[in-house]
Structure 1
Amino acid sequence: MSTALLDARRPVLADLVPARVFRGAAVRDAALIVGASAFVGLAAQISVPVPGSPVPVTGQTFAVLLAGSALGAWRGLAAMVLYLGLGAAGMPWFAEGTSGTGFPTLGYVFGMVLAATAAGFLARRGTDRSPLRTAGTMLLGNAVIYAAGLTYLAHDLGISMSQAYEIGMRNYLFGDAVKIVLAMALLPSAWKLVGRRG
């Protein structure tokens, strides 16, 4: 990655939402954070059980990475901390309407906190403006989610990492590829729609 890309500080999509509509930037940011948390919670309910695995196929990871990219790092982090905190406290908006902390897929949610932050950090440097850079951001985000998710899954179930891979990642890669292709279309198209490239 070039030094110019690392040093660049560009707007993210959330920055284009006028603060005056919400009577100030703080209220706007709070509304975006709450809205992103709810978006992830709704996407998590798009859930298909996978036989032999505690990990369902959901729309959750797609929503997390889109939200992180659109919000930027700190708002993405705040949205996912809110999502995790409320879900742990009893809000039934984890996958399959679950809540609390006593389930083997909790590590994926921890990974989503980190992935949203990373996606937002990279989007602030313009990686959501082109399809290929968007794909790179989504791949990195998915890798972070899987790293945390599989590690926790293996520990919680008392299985090896290779077994965790078999039940918690291998069967999901095609779906992840589809989500990445969708993101490659959506994020750059959003920037073209608003007419802001810089």
Structure 2
Amino acid sequence: MATASMPAQPLRPLVLADLVPAVRARNVVLVALGVLLTAALAQVSVPVPGSPVPITGQTLAVVLTAAALGPVRGVAVQVAYMACALVGLPFYSEASGGVDVVFGATGGYVVGFIPAAVLIGMAARHGADRNPLMAVPLFIAGQAVIFAVGVPWLAVSADMSASQALDAGFYPFILGGLVKAGVAAAVLGTAWKATRQA
């Protein structure tokens, strides 16, 4: 004689946080951590003589978060980062924030973080961040996108000629961009290797 099996009872949540679907909670936490990483690396700031644009760790954070989180969450990190600065949180270099800072001479670089996150995140979805031979050129290209937005913005907002904007907002950052691409490739490559060995 066959017996009907009892349907499994759903597990009751242990705490309020258990009521939040795991995927949404995870994404919110990952995006928040990405924002905090970008804000923290923005404080690694070295002034460039004659330029309103400092050398910072922000672009390293953009590369790392976009590659690690993918295009949607990577873009969400950068949009949230800008929003935090717009409301006055001291998330930009030298603990600055506010509307004047966000839309000032360096604002174009931060706007450029968004298309850079799309490019890097999309390529990372296809595995381009796992091999340093592919990752380094990708991360250089991502930073080039940032400069493609930031340098013209700098020229317009600071009333500079194209050559002045390149001198103040691009040339001094080439070496640092190459180093950041190498560092990001090493970090992500190591992370992927660790997951394969786990």
- Shift in Å, 1:89: 1.6
Counterpart-to-counterpart distance in 2, 1:67 and 1:130: 17
Q: Which has the higher contact order (CA 8 A, sep 6+)?
A: 1
CA displacement, residues 34-60 of structure 1 (integer Å, 9 cap, x when unaligned): 110110001000111111110111111
Counterpart-to-counterpart distance in 1, 2:190 and 2:125: 17
Aligned to 1:170: 171
Aligned to 2:142: 141
Counterpart-to-counterpart distance in 2, 1:34 and 1:133: 28
Amino acid at match of 2:125: R
Counterpart-to-counterpart distance in 2, 1:157 and 1:73: 31
Aligned to 1:113: 114
Number of equivalences: 176
Q: Is the counterpart of residue 95 in structure 1 residue 90 in structure 2?
A: no
For the 8 Å contact 2:88–2:99, the answer to whether it is kept is: no
Aligned to 2:123: 122
Aligned to 1:189: 190
Aligned to 1:157: 158
CA displacement, residues 128-169 of structure 1 (integer Å, 9 cap, x when unaligned): 110011112111111110011101100101112221010011
Amino acid at match of 2:60: F
Counterpart-to-counterpart distance in 2, 1:73 and 1:179: 19
- Shift in Å, 1:175: 1.1
Counterpart-to-counterpart distance in 1, 2:99 and 2:51: 18
Aligned to 1:65: 63
Counterpart-to-counterpart distance in 1, 2:31 and 2:162: 34
| Aligned partner of 1:44 among 42, 46, 50 | 42
Q: Which runs of at least 4 in structure 1 moved beyond 3 Å after TM superposition? A: none
1:101–1:162: structure 2 CA closer, same or farther, 3 Å change rule?
Answer: farther
- Shift in Å, 1:23: 5.5
Counterpart-to-counterpart distance in 1, 2:48 and 2:94: 12
Amino acid at match of 1:82: A
Q: Secondary structure at the match of 2:143?
A: helix
Counterpart-to-counterpart distance in 1, 2:67 and 2:163: 31
CA displacement, residues 85-125 of structure 1 (integer Å, 9 cap, x when unaligned): 11112111111211123220000000012211211111001
TM-score computed with the length of structure 2 as normaliser: 0.85
Q: Is the counterpart of residue 31 in structure 1 residue 32 in structure 2?
A: no
% same residue: 40
- Pair member with larger Rg: 2
Q: Secondary structure at the match of 1:25?
A: helix
Unpaired segments ≥5 residues, structure 1: 1-19
For the 8 Å contact 2:45–2:57, the answer to whether it is kept is: yes
Counterpart-to-counterpart distance in 2, 1:130 and 1:23: 33
Mean Cα deviation higher: 145-154 or 114-123: 114-123
